[in-house]
A and B are shown apart, each in its own frame.
Chain A
Amino acid sequence: QKEVEQNSGPLSVPEGAIASLNCTYSDRGSQSFFWYRQYSGKSPELIMFIYSNGDKEDGRFTAQLNKASQYVSLLIRDSQPSDSATYLCAVPCRGDKIIFGKGTRLHILP
């Protein structure tokens, strides 16, 4: 089992709808979880992190964490064309090593 798994997509969502991105992880000891956004040709940038079970909201973004199921998700409300990017789930595993999932390509349809 890979340490961090994501559906590679592409995920196509109409403008204004909710985009739902999912990630599972294997290390039960992981305590923090990160979502990065990467535009084509650019470096990743952090958009959300979450430590506790439940939901964390920041503007149009909501991160959801379920440690029992080893599952973390990112919801993007009112999707905009500018949200079109690859979204990377990242989890510190085996101490201080931050492992990235393969990323989900999101395409917002105008």
Chain B
Amino acid sequence: SAVISQKPSRDICQRGTSLTIQCQVDSQVTMMFWYRQQPGQSLTLIATANQGSEATYESGFVIDKFPISRPNLTFSTLTVSNMSPEDSSIYLCSVEDPGVPGELFFGEGSRLTVL
């Protein structure tokens, strides 16, 4: 298993500002995944963060809005830029179990409220 720490756990932000979410894993992993979970909804994959290369974004998500860094094999950040109330959501960092492809471990999530 993997232990994933995310911070901040929650924040309230003003429209137009940006927030960076940090994700720290207790072991080296190849890929890290960023998901969004809007209120009452399921998880939507934002992007896959690979160390040493640019992140791969899913349809509907762009780098200018959600820039991602992956400086090493245990750490990643997701920035939510120029926020609007529609960005209010829980953002989850996750990694895959190398022994069970498809099994994901999740951080505690970062609950973001944009006013």
Q: How far apart are A67's CB and chain B's nearest CB, in angstroms?
A: 15
A100 CA to B100 CA, complexed, in Å: 17
Contact present for A103 and B101 (CB under 8 Å): no
* Set of chain A residues within 8 Å of B48, measured between Cβ atoms: 96-97
> What total of A-B pairs shows CB separation below 8 Å?
46
* Set of chain B residues within 8 Å of A102, measured between Cβ atoms: 41-42
Interface residues on A, range: 10 to 19
User: 13 A-B contacts, Cβ less than 8 Å apart?
Assistant: A32-B101, A34-B103, A43-B106, A43-B108, A46-B104, A49-B100, A49-B102, A90-B104, A92-B101, A96-B101, A99-B45, A100-B43, A100-B44
Please list the residues of chain B having a beta carbon within 8 angstroms of any beta carbon in chain A: 31, 33, 35, 41-45, 48, 58, 92, 96, 100-104, 106-109
